[in-house]
Amino acid sequence: MKIVVAVKQVPERDAAIRVGADGRWIEEEDLSYTINEPDAYALEEALQLKEKHGGEVVVVGAGPERVTSTLREALAKGADRAIHVEAVDLGERDTLGVAQVLADAIAAEAPDLVLTGLQSDDLGLGQTGVVMAELLGLPHATIIMQVEVTASGLRVKQELEDGWFQHVEMPLPALLTMQSGGNKLRYATLMGIKKAKAKELKTETAAAAAASPSARLERVYLPQRQKHTEMLTGSPAEVAAKLVQILKNDVRVL
């Protein structure tokens, strides 16, 4: 079984975020980067499937040259090959454009299964994997916790609301977007880091971006801190009645 895992490189969660001068994205020069957490769980699921059933795990990541460090980390954890789709303008592409970049690289691999995270830690749109499945013409399922290979394809555990789950039978090839927490993530061992240096990491150039994306990020800003004080007057009964109305209509906690 050939499994392709699409991964994204995102800023570290504890990084100090500063909005860029143009207000459209964050300052990236001083940031440290890591693999997107849901994508790390997708990689772990792929590695466990390989250990059970054999085959090959290929990781694909798009972006500038720094993305190769995240791909090397995936190789150190056990992936067999990596493909870096060089796209310095990735931030200027909408979801469809990013999905197209990844789909072009993945289609050439003709995988049996494509895994990616449910959403990214930076934008959190939760759309790229689903759009990619449509571009590849693959059946897909989202919010997946576990994957089991069956004689007819796959049996996946899908998270629903309020602690409910359901199991879904799917054919292969297919694409799944993985939820965080389904497995315990492994660390790259010293031996794995050494082996990763000898593994193939191929760089491809992304196709030109569409001239006019259907969605554009216009503004990024930090949450505004506001304080508002209102003095309630009247008798205790009147103050209590006003407070109930504020909690019910304005704060909406009642």
Name the pTM for this structure: 0.82
Mean pLDDT, range 149-174, rounded to an integer: 92
SS3 state at 5: strand
| 211 — pLDDT class (breaks 50, 70, 90) | low
pLDDT-based confidence at residue 121 (cuts at 50, 70, 90)? confident
- pLDDT at residue 109 is higher than 90: yes
pLDDT, tens digit (0-9, with 9 covering 90-100), for 225-254: 777 788 899 999 999 999 998 888 887 777
- Locate 172 and state its tokens: 């292969």
User: In whole angstroms, how far apart are CA 187 and each of 63, 73, 74, 111, 184?
Assistant: 24, 9, 10, 25, 10
Domains of the chain, first to last: 2-205 (3.40.50.620)
If you average pLDDT over residues 88-100, what whole number do you get?
84
The pLDDT value given to residue 149: 94
Q: What is the pLDDT of residue 138?
A: 96
